[in-house]
């Protein structure tokens, strides 16, 4: 049936988020910026899903991300309508992450009918601009410093320094030969050091046998009370599952990617790092 078509389901969720984002901005309060970001992300996302999706695009994961975002918006709107102070939310980063494969993908443009490619390219560029605002490196650097992740553990570079290195390598590449390595390996190490930094500051030390267990432990001990298990599970999966972000960043050692593809992966890594930093309640750190 038409209602079971994943494109229809995703578009419906995106359109719902757009209208809720607009209403949130009208209601105002401390959540205005978040509401506008979601309205912008929804507008840009609704444009690109009109075209054939890039290879490997996860319809179900995108639907799950936008569905959870809609639920959080309902909660925020309910709070605003009661004149309460709404909670800080992170699922905008999750939804943004789910759409990033539409940017920097030659296969996406190639899969569009020739007479629509210029429009598809323009719409993908618009989405990229919105994602760049969400993946703002200065706000991520500010969060890293806020948590003291600009101070190196003996014998290591600090997470903030590695993050700055990764973006500097993209913005000002010093070599034409395999420059992707100079950016994506540092951002991988930045995320790993951020995870280790939070693990060291858990109130209760517990065994974490793999990368997934590390994220789950951070979520269970350090996350804001308003952060649900769905968000924590999503972070753990996007970081550690086969073919997901950690694998992708590691494969960059042998990658021969275009600058657009490189930027798309760096965006997603930045969005992931921002979300990881946003879930942690400083009051729970030891």
CA atoms within 13 A on the CB side of 62: 25
Span 214-243, mean pLDDT? 92
Question: Is-above-0.85 flag for pTM?
Answer: no
Which residues are CB-contacts of 118 (< 8 A; sequence separation ≥ 6)? none
How far apart CA 123 and CA 199 sit, in angstroms, is 40
Count of C-beta atoms within a 10 Å radius of residue 35: 26
CA-wise closest residue to 13 among 45, 35, 55, 37: 45
pLDDT digits (tens, 9 = 90+) for 80-115: 766 543 344 566 788 999 999 899 888 899 999 999
Least reliable range by pLDDT among 82-86, 129-133, 140-144, 216-220? 82-86
Residue percentage of the chain with pLDDT more than 70: 92
Whole-number average pLDDT of the chain: 89
**Predicted local distance difference test score (pLDDT) of residue 87:** 45
pLDDT digits (tens, 9 = 90+) for 1-55: 556 799 999 999 999 999 998 887 777 665 778 888 999 999 999 999 999 999 9
Could you list the beta-strand ranges (E) of the chain: none
How far apart CA 67 and CA 157 sit, in angstroms, is 38
Tokens of 286: 């030891």
Least reliable range by pLDDT among 90-94, 178-182, 240-244? 90-94
Span 264-268, mean pLDDT? 92
* Contact indicator for 184, 266 with CB cutoff of 8 Å: yes
């Amino acid at each position: 049936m038409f209602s079971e078509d994943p494109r229809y389901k995703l578009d419906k969720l995106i359109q719902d988020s757009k209208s809720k984002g607009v209403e949130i901005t009208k209601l105002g309060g401390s959540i205005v910026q978040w509401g506008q970001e979601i309205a912008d992300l929804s507008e840009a996302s609704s444009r690109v899903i009109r075209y054939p999706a890039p290879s490997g695009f996860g319809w179900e994961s995108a639907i799950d991300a936008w569905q959870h975002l809609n639920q959080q918006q309902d909660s925020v709107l309910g709070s605003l309508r009661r004149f309460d102070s709404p909670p800080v939310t992170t699922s905008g980063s999750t939804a943004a992450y789910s759409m990033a494969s539409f940017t920097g993908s030659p296969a996406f443009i190639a899969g569009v009918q020739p007479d629509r490619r210029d429009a598809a390219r323009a719409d993908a560029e618009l989405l990229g601009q919105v994602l760049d605002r969400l993946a703002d490196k200065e706000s991520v650097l500010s969060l890293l410093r806020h948590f003291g992740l600009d101070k190196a553990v003996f014998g290591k570079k600090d997470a903030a320094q590695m993050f700055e290195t990764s973006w500097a390598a993209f913005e000002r590449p010093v070599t034409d030969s395999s420059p992707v390595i100079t950016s994506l390996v540092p951002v991988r190490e930045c995320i790993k050091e951020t995870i280790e930094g939070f693990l060291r500051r858990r109130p209760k030390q517990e065994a974490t046998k793999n990368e997934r267990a590390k994220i789950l432990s951070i979520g269970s001990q350090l996350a804001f009370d308003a952060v649900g298990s769905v968000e924590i599970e999503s972070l753990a999966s996007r970081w550690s599952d086969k073919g997901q972000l950690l694998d992708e960043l590691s494969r960059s050692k042998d990658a021969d990617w275009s600058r657009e593809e490189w930027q798309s992966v760096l965006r997603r890594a930045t969005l992931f790092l921002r979300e990881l930093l946003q879930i942690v309640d400083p009051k729970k750190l030891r």
